[in-house]
Chains A and B, each alone.
Chain A
Amino acid sequence: MKFKAMTALAGALAMVTGGALADADDDTLTINEEIEIITKTDAPAYIDGLSELISGWHFRSDETQQLETDDFDNPGMLGVEAAMEVWETADGSEGKSCADCHESAEETMVGVRAVYPKWNDNAEAVWTLEMAINGCRTERMGAEAWKYDGDDITNMVALISSVSRGMPMSVAVDGPAQATWEEGKELYYTRTGQLDLSCANCHEDNYGNMIRADHLSQGHTNGFPTYRLKNAKLNSVHARFKGCVRDTRAETYAPGSPEFVALELYVASRGNGLSIEGPAVRN
């Protein structure tokens, strides 16, 4: 059954590809002339559908790619700057700021983005970076939780990502996180909506192809939060997932829902080995 479909698709693709258009380019990415970014690497063994991992950066135009090479040109860095101020600002009933507990983000937050989503022992659940940030706000600062995919939290995730740029993504897929990972994998391959499409249909079977004017990437999360030229702001992982699911004419899951947390863990693990780029620039 599957075989028939696969060969038909392979035949169809052989007919239309061959142009340079279909491929990820061979450019290399260095940010601020010092941070070298791994944008292509071997896929981890537990990912069946990909042999080489390719950052979404390779599928963008030269002009868009260029914006990510220098922090002065990267509009996503404005969100990072805004978060640096918030980092130092006390909030909530305890009168504490992030800096009161964590000192300088440039030092204490290095490497954090690489391992999230991550199992949290106290909560006995996999936590995204957003959940960890809101955990500090509600439990330690006595402040209100930020909206899961609002600007405040997305800027803060961008700050925490930015200090790990260049480091390879390395989320854990085994141990206590494994059940959540399996759940995410299931969601990744489930076809949804009236268009009946799964993440894999677009980002595993068809990356490199054009869906109308959109050049399909492998759909990795190493560049998040991404500054999108389309909506001129930083976008969180779950906001992107929501948009992609909506585009299958499906009922989406909510940002911060257990389903999207599981999906984020699985999708992040598909990118293990690619460097963190966030805040990346995309269209």
Chain B
Amino acid sequence: MTAGGTRQLQYRVAMREAMREALLADERVFLMGEDVGAYGGCFAVSLGLFEEFGPERIRDTPLSELAFVGAGIGAALGGMRPIVEIMTVNFSLLALDQILNNAATLSHMSGGQFAIPLVIRIPTGGGRQLAAQHSHSLEGWYAHIPGLRVLAPATVEDARGMLAPALADPNPVLIFEHVLLYNVEEEVPLEPATVDIASAAIRRGGRDVSLITYGGSLPLVLEAAAELATAGIDAEVIDLRVLRPLDERTVLESVTRTHRAVVVDEGWRSGSLSAEISARIMERAFFDLDAPVQRICSVEVPVPYAQQLEEAARPRASEVVRVARALVEGRPVDG
């Protein structure tokens, strides 16, 4: 790409541009959620949209996650294309009944009479000292649920490009936006590229070890890969992008080439997405492995406020480097 063909774009602005484009393109699209309008969005993602599109289409809701997520489902049934923003992933639990028992279920339970073309955007993850009720990574729970598509844009280009196909999907799509990514700026094509919402992406090719991650952990994994390169280790970095349905093939093909895998997941280890990835590698690529699959996850504590404790709870690049090196060098990981 030539310099003239690209521009600097912030993740937050990319998401805003994608929403603006969708609002302009389709009258059925509207945004609703807590403080998405007059306030401009808790993370300023929707800043300016209220002024441009008005209170009907940029709809401030009461603090009623259950009702406004359910209303999004009903509006989708009624022919609209709602984008619902839930302020943070912990608050999504207040709407979990509607997400699981209605959004993910109605198509099947009705024998295919109805579809739910609904997009729910949810900020997720820690790293901002917001403590134990605003910092968790619960996207793995949602990835457990049949009937949902779960996306985790980790790059600015994906933040810009995933919304349109998500809105075109006749099924409910959850988009998890890691709060540490909002300020990230990256070079993107001037013309927004079409991105798919079906496959994982290889963010860095490599031969020695597959580092498998998604969302907010991608930057630290890329940092680890760069450091491993200085030690002569060629790591491949896979960004899952789509947490449900999983693009198993890209993962398995990578592991078949590198023979080693480290899964990095900000969720808690027990019953996590990382456990799912690891299990699938064991099931399908066991005989291609030179070493046991390793996982780097958040420590199993409610995320604490104090900076050094929060940092200790979250996956770190140094740990990815340490574990990947041990694998490649054939040393015990815990040694």
A is bound by B: no
Q: Mark A residues whose CB is within 8 Å of B.
A: none
